[in-house]
Chains A and B, each alone.
Chain A
Amino acid sequence: MSGLAILIPVALGMGALGLAVFFWAMKHEQFDDLDGAAQRILIDEEEE
């Protein structure tokens, strides 16, 4: 039983952390332009 007292909060906490990260990502428009993200890696930054 005493193990549960630690493990359950840990499980919940990690889940909540994942959820928080997902919400953060949504809010910061990380999923707004998925095709664009795939294209952008091809842009050559050195080019002048």
Chain B
Amino acid sequence: MNAHATLAPGEAHAEHDTRFTVPGIRCAGCIAKIERGLSQLEGVEAARVNFSAKRVAVRHDERWDEDSLILELAGLGFEAQPAAENPLAQDDKETRRLLRALAVAGFGMMNIMLLSVSVWSGAGGVTRELFHWLSALIALPVVAYSGRPFFSSALMALRHGRTNMDVPISIGVLLATIMSFHETVVGGEHAYFDGAVMLLFFLLTGRALDATMRGRTRAGIGALLSRMGKYATVVQADGSTSRLEAKELAAGMTMLVPSGEALAADGRILEGQGRIDNSMLTGESMSVAVSVGDTVHAGAILIDGPLVVEVTAANDDTVLAEIARLMDEAGQSRSRYVRIADRASRFYAPAVHTLALLAFAGWMLAGAGWHQSMIIAIAVLIITCPCALGLAVPAAQVVASGALSRAGVLVKDGSALERLAEVDIALFDKTGTLTLGEPVPDVSALDVTAQQVALGLAQASAHPLSRGLAAKLRENGVIAAEITEIDESAGVGIRGNWQGTEVRLHRGSEKTEAPGTELRIGDRRYAIGFADELRADAKTALATLSELGISSRILSGDTKGAVEKVASQLRIEGFGGVRPEDKLAMLEELKARGHKPLMVGDGLNDGPALAAAHASIAPGTASDISQQAADAVFLGKTLAPVATAVRASRRTMAIVRQNFAFAIIYNVLAVPLALAGMVTPLIAAICMSLSSLIVVANSLRLARAAR
């Protein structure tokens, strides 16, 4: 704060707002830590965490920029990414618009009902006219404001020569309002203002529910590329170095990569060795050792280095960009999916219009006069207007997604639930999906003292293997032995003193494929093997899926041998050595044969497949990209949520169909009344509320769908 005071008065103090995505915000402590930590910095005016969106908004002056703030956040223990031009803003605005329209419609509906009730209960003469005028005064602005979402959507559809759910709604509401106004002016008996506004209110409820559920949708490909290094230090021919932007890089250049930097291009290591974090590409948290001759990819982060790398592919040619492109293309097939409500309205809308038109023509022919005929046609439109239909889908889906999220499955939107219900074949990635994706140590070779020593050493280290070991031992109830003079050297191991004996925990001596550790106590040696275990309930979850009529296969980039081993263990088909393109090809082939594949995967190499599959689920440990590409994310260490998600989504669709069936029955009963000219505003209001209530009540049965 002092910094502000020392600035010369009048000096321009540009303020910047920067937003970051911080996936690690999980509790109140995180909020407090980030907000306090950032606000203490000089030049940072305010930091505000949005817990729901996992975002941090920072207001700061020019002394700070994106990169330095990310470093500060990393110092606080949170991994952050700059939020790309907020892709949620559009959705957010949409939700707000709907909520405001809903509030206005609710206000209008309540007040008009208040007036209508007295008209229904027999108010006549001047009082009725006054009340009709008051209703008109409220209804006209309310319809104009709250009806906009429907009017604009209907207009859009008509402009493209199509018709959708919003066309009969708009026509019904507009005609009812205009006719009612006419009735009011001539002092007629019936005004349908209440019906029109109530219709808007119920339909907006459905829309708002749908929009709220969408919540966090995929943030898009933009986030993927933002992880790629933005700059690189390039060595020129004369030996000097210069800082170039990623897009200026070209194959053949030599770049100098310091520790902590994200690679900006694919390349081959010329000099140096270090460890890189490939979690962005593979979803695996373990860093990989690299040395001269190894290939490294853009997006990987160098943990310790430095490295001299020859660029082999830059910009659009990198593996990362290639995957982004594949995902982009793959996702397009999904956007062609037609939601069930829209499919229903394809038949519904023309039927309603024809019916209303026929009613008008029929009564004209019967000699009722255009005024009477028009009133009846409007009654038909209002009665058939899909109140129940508009609520049928969103109400069921909102309840179901709430139930699923309590069961550990986060579904992104309603369309995802609809597609999940249709899948008939499941493709699983192996590492991180069928398996836990983290190495679990085998401590059976250790006796009790050895276990205590191992825990004492392991808990002092931040190495992933040590952390895995410590977690496992603590789980077993082991109490750590007291180790003194602990000394850790990176890449070698950790050593210490236990009751006068030298103890060590270091890299396994044998060169094996699986990572291993060796514990030494004095002269005794214990080998600790690490294996990536299958999720404990993988077998039962797959069995549940097959009960649901879904056959499973493994599709993995891992070696054929490793995949076959797991496949035979689970008694399903397995394909190993599959590249992302092959996964896509296999999905396309399945689709061509009429299957609706479900993809379950976690790595970036699964990204395109996740986006292309009919429906997809990613584990909560998956790379961000995969979580964004997937329709749903499941949390926890079990695989059961996958089966639960499919079962619950099928139950949801069953309820949706019941709701539709109910709406149709309601119409079959109510339309003859309307056609006969017997529907007064009172009957219309009762029918509408009753049908909506029944649909909502039926949907609430889904609250236990995920059990």
Q: Which residue numbers of A lie inside 8 Å of B, CB to CB?
A: 1, 8, 11-12, 15-16, 18-19, 22-23, 26, 31-36, 39-44, 47
Contact = CB atoms under 8 A, between A and B. Distances in A.
Contacts of B110: 15
Contacts of B49: 33, 36
Interface in B310-359: none
Interface stretch (B99-107, B409-417, B470-478, B490-498): B99-107
A18 B28 CA distance: 31
A7 to B, nearest CB: 10
Given A32-B50, A33-B53, A35-B52, A11 B103 contact: no
A1 B100 CA distance: 34
Contact of B96 (A8, A11, A26): A26
B50 A36 contact: yes
B402 to A, nearest CB: 14
B586 interface: no
A1 B29 CA distance: 60
B111 A39 contact: no
A12 B110 CA distance: 10
B52 A32 contact: yes
Classify the secondary structure of B's interface with A.
Answer: helix
Interface in B31-47: 31-32
B572 interface: no
Contacts of B27: 39, 42
A33 B134 contact: no
A18 B99 contact: no
15 contacts: A8-B134, A12-B138, A19-B103, A19-B104, A22-B103, A33-B51, A35-B51, A39-B27, A40-B28, A40-B31, A40-B51, A41-B28, A42-B28, A43-B31, A43-B32
Contacts of B100: 23, 26
Interface in B1-58: 27-29, 31-32, 49-53
Interface of B: 27-29, 31-32, 49-53, 96, 99-100, 103-104, 107, 110-111, 114, 127, 134, 138
Contacts of A42: 27-28
B456 to A, nearest CB: 31
Contact of B111 (A1, A12, A34, A47): A12
B114 A11 contact: yes
A39 B99 CA distance: 24
B32 A15 contact: no
Contacts of A34: 52
Contacts of A15: 107, 110-111
Classify the secondary structure of A's interface with B.
Answer: helix
Contact of A26 (B28, B51, B99, B107): B99
B53 to A, nearest CB: 7
Contacts of B99: 26, 31
Nearest to B96: A26
A47 B52 contact: no
B551 to A, nearest CB: 38
Q: Which of B52, B110, B114 has the most CB of A within 10 A?
A: B52
A18 B107 contact: yes
B241 to A, nearest CB: 44
B85 to A, nearest CB: 18
A28 to B, nearest CB: 12
Given A12-B111, A33-B49, A39-B27, 18 more contacts: A1-B127, A11-B114, A12-B138, A19-B104, A19-B107, A22-B103, A23-B100, A26-B96, A26-B100, A32-B52, A33-B50, A33-B51, A36-B31, A36-B49, A39-B28, A40-B28, A43-B28, A47-B32
A16 to B, nearest CB: 7
B103 A36 contact: no
A47 B35 CA distance: 13
Nearest to B32: A43
Contacts of A8: 134
Contacts of A36: 31, 49-52
A16 B107 contact: yes
Q: Which of A1, A16, A22, A26 has the most CB of B within 10 A?
A: A22
The 6 closest A-B pairs by CB, nearest first: A36-B51, A42-B28, A39-B28, A35-B52, A43-B32, A33-B50
Contacts of A16: 107
A43 B134 CA distance: 50
B107 A39 contact: no
Q: Which of B53, B104, B107, B110 has the most CB of A within 10 A?
A: B107
A24 to B, nearest CB: 11
A43 to B, nearest CB: 4
Contacts of A18: 107
A32 B50 CA distance: 8
A39 B96 CA distance: 23
B95 to A, nearest CB: 9
Contacts of A26: 96, 99-100
Contacts of B53: 32-33
Nearest to B118: A4
A32 B134 CA distance: 35
